[in-house]
Structure 1
Amino acid sequence: MPIDPNRPFQALGIAILTASDTRTADTDSSGDLAESLCREAGHRIQARVIARDDLLALRRQFQHFIDDADVDVVIATGGTGVTGRDVCPEALAPLVSKPIPGFGELFRQLSYLEIGSSTIQSRAEAGVCSGTLIFLLPGSRGGVRLGLQEIVLPQLDSRNRPCSLAELLPRIRHEH
């Protein structure tokens, strides 16, 4: 995916949400990686939160970020597996105004190249929620790295050609 150096870069406001009952600020290595990669890409970190694996707590946190005018994008890590405590997709579902199914499809395709059939256990997904882009990534560092470097961050770069979600964000926000 080529970057057009003649186009201006637009830094976006990003919130990072880690869904976990066990991670702390000192042990959230996937959240650290997400923050580092987003900063290196030139974006602003508006918030970083660790929330327990609880459907209503996660939904409230997603809604808080959606309501925050300084947050353009939410990157959530964890809670996308298939166990009973993995509830990020269910927490987000009623808030999604427009799903972005291509994200999860591409994530699993690329993930398959790294981890084989184990990728079917991932429920990584993305959607538009009242004008805010939300991406759900696995809690593993490998999943965060893959999702951000190969899919999310290129799409959040307004110089990405032929098109990017960053370029569409003003229209997405206006329509909601």
Structure 2
Amino acid sequence: MTNPATSPAGRALIVSISDDLVHGQDDGGAAALVTELLTEAGFVVDGALAVPSEAVDIRSALNTGVIGGVDLLVTVGGTGVTPRDVTPDVTDEVIDRKLPGITEAVRWSGMTAGVVDAVVSRGVVGVSGSTLIANIAGSRAAIRDGLATLIPLARYVIEELSDPAVE
């Protein structure tokens, strides 16, 4: 197996979940920030989708990434505690295998950095087919901190999933 820190990272899709976004309001640069950080880490970002906080729309966006064969799908937003925050619930329905260690690493990193929305996030990380799906809270601080933790772990998981010797 090659070193995940030096091998190509893969293809990524960003899904922003927010009712405000689909009604034309600005996301505060969240999708652009995720794109920038993933690109700096060597990912090719196929695009960024904005969907409302509706289960059917989130599920469709997740399936678009999985069926499209992206290696990493990062959702931003919809991970909190309000009734409209359904991203983790829908992600649970789509993933085949949860990766709770990565989920907790992202949450712990947020806690040590004092990023409140990262700490109270109900976000999950898991694999659907050969796609790693990760839910990140929507603030810029949560995005920066979450991706700093997620990216090296994602590279490792993607390498594992793409290794033909691993069945």
TM-score (norm 2): 0.86
Q: Which runs of 5+ in 2 are unaligned?
A: none
Q: Work out the number of aligned pairs and report it.
A: 162
Structure 2 residue 131 is matched with structure 1 residue 168: no
Which secondary structure does the structure 1 equivalent of 2:46 belong to?
A: strand
Taking the aligned partners of 2:64 and 2:33, their CA distance within structure 1 comes to: 23
Taking the aligned partners of 1:171 and 1:42, their CA distance within structure 2 comes to: 19
Match of residue 80 from structure 1: 79
Contact persistence 2:34–2:143 (CA under 8 A):
yes
Taking the aligned partners of 1:107 and 1:52, their CA distance within structure 2 comes to: 24
Q: How does 1:92-107 map to 2 (within 5 A)?
A: 92-107=91-106
Q: CA RMSD in A?
A: 2.4
Taking the aligned partners of 1:105 and 1:126, their CA distance within structure 2 comes to: 9
Which secondary structure does the structure 2 equivalent of 1:15 belong to?
A: strand
Which secondary structure does the structure 2 equivalent of 1:9 belong to?
A: coil
1:30 to 1:119, Cα distance in 2 relative to 1, 3 A = closer
Taking the aligned partners of 1:126 and 1:98, their CA distance within structure 2 comes to: 9
**Superimposed CA distance per residue, residues 9-28 of structure 1 (whole angstroms, 9 cap, x where no aligned partner):** 21300000000011268722
Structure 2 residue 7 is matched with structure 1 residue 15: no
Taking the aligned partners of 2:145 and 2:78, their CA distance within structure 1 comes to: 17
**Superimposed CA distance per residue, residues 19-60 of structure 1 (whole angstroms, 9 cap, x where no aligned partner):** 001126872211111000011112101121000110111011
Give the ranges of 4+ consecutive aligned residues of structure 1 lying more than 6 Å apart after TM superposition: none
CA apart distance, 1:75: 0.6
What amino acid maps onto 1:13 in structure 2?
Answer: R
Match of residue 161 from structure 1: none
TM-score (norm 1): 0.82
Q: How does 1:18-37 map to 2 (within 5 A)?
A: 18-23=16-21, 27-28=26-27, 29-37=29-37
CA apart distance, 1:107: 1.6
